[in-house]
Amino acid sequence: MKKDRKTKFLEVLEKTPIIQYACDQIDISRNTYYRWMEEDLDFRMQVAQRMQIGIDRVNDFAENNVLKGIKNCDPGMTKYWLGSRHSAYRRPFTLHLQKNEQQAKLDKELEEARQEIAALEIEEWQLGWLEIGIPDGKTKRPLTKEEIDKKRKELIKRRKYLEGKYGISN
């Protein structure tokens, strides 16, 4: 009995690829459908196959109706066909996304990285002053060439890390 209901479900799904419709046609609940999907791997694979067959069938039917409309000189169908099938008649596609929390966090992180790189550039510029013997603000004494070189290498390393991580190039 159960096998017959599954087979019937698959037959209905192949003709009309809508789960709720197929459930209603063979008088089962969606919960039963989901249980069958969970318990029976073969059924799950057949649902995917039959669903695709049904979708292809509906697409063929819809395209046939569009072509009938074109043959009957329906300007709406003609416009639809050209707009979806001919590149010269397509509208340009633009995608508008709302920023979600994750994107906002990434944007903030990127801006912080840019600011840090700008600060590193200022420090590099200040190293030039230290090279000519102006005292360091922290130590109150001129830095040695080795200290300046070490500091410059650290700055360059940090800058390269940030530029690589965030794809920033100056």
- Give the pLDDT score at 1: 46
What would the DSSP string read from start to end of 125-166? HHHHHHHTTPPPTTTSSPPPHHHHHHHHHHHHHHHHHHHHHH
**140 φ/ψ sector (left φ>0, alpha ψ -120 to 50, else beta):** left
What is the mean predicted confidence (pLDDT) over 30-43?
93
Exposure string of 78-93, with b = 16+ CB inside 10 Å and e = fewer, is beebeeeeeeeeeeee
- Give the pLDDT score at 19: 94
| Backbone dihedral angles phi then psi of residue 74, each to the nearest 5 degrees | -80, 115
Residue 12, pLDDT > 90, answer yes
Domain layout of the chain by residue ranges: 2-89, 101-166
Residue 169, pLDDT > 70, answer no
- Give the pLDDT score at 33: 95
Q: Please say whether the beta carbons of 5 and 36 come within 8 A.
A: no
pLDDT in tens, 47-56: 999 999 999 9
pLDDT in tens, 120-163: 777 777 766 666 666 656 666 777 778 878 888 888 888 888 88
Residue 138 CA to its chain's centroid (Å): 48
- Give the pLDDT score at 131: 62
Q: At a CB cut-off of 8 Å and minimum separation 6, what does 155 contact?
A: 120, 123, 124, 127
pLDDT in tens, 64-123: 999 999 899 888 888 888 888 777 777 776 766 666 777 888 888 888 888 888 877 777
Taken as a whole, the chain contains a residue count of 170
| Cα–Cα distance for residue pair 89/72, rounded to 1 Å | 20
More confident of the two residues 57 and 103? 57
DSSP 93: P
